[in-house]
Amino acid sequence: MAERSISDTPRRLAALRRLLTVMVALLSYIGGCALLVLVSGMWLVEAPQVTLSFLFWTFMPYATMGAPFYWMLCSVITRRLGRNKKAMLMSILVCGLYFVVPAALVYIMLLIPVPELLVSRAALMFYILFGSSGILFGFGYSIVQRLVSAESELSIK
């Protein structure tokens, strides 16, 4: 019975790591939406209303281009640099700078010309949303990696 629990420990830790990373992805999207509403409420006269249309046009690019690539970028950084503070800072920086790709996907889906993509007020709002979501994802992913690796060291001892 003890052998089975020891061999199951890495599988359970991997499943826990995946589950926590999915939760980080969802929370980073929600945090990005909250920051968008907060910043645009201060910057613009009125904050954007969070409607089903808003959620569709922001969650679809986030779910298809944002979160999977944030996850991939963070896992590559973690493999290359380990689970230290340098990897955490690189994950936050790289995910924060990746915001252009999901924002561009929204504009490609809406067939908006490229020059307007870079300078419009709506583009800046998408940059805020996806940039802050990327920063939150990079930070949360690093915390999950360090937390689960610390837990695995405790379970081995």
Closest listed residue to residue 54, CA positions, set 69, 39, 32, 27: 32
**Residue 46 confidence (pLDDT):** 62
Q: At what angle do helices 2-43 and 67-81 cross, to 10 degrees?
A: 120
Q: Is the dihedral of CA 127, 128, 131, 133 positive or negative?
A: negative
Q: Which residues form the domain of 38?
A: 2-156
Residue 44 has pLDDT above 70, yes or no: no
Mean pLDDT of 134-152: 86
Q: How far apart are CA 62 and CA 77, in angstroms?
A: 20
Mean pLDDT of 86-115: 79
Cα angle 103, 58, 71; round to 5: 75
What is the pTM assigned to this prediction? 0.81
The identity of residue 137, as a single letter, is F
In which residue are the tokens 């922001």 written?
Answer: 58
Structure tokens at 156: 């081995």
Average pLDDT taken over every residue of the chain = 81
Return the higher-pLDDT residue of 111 and 72.
Answer: 72
Domain count, the chain: 1
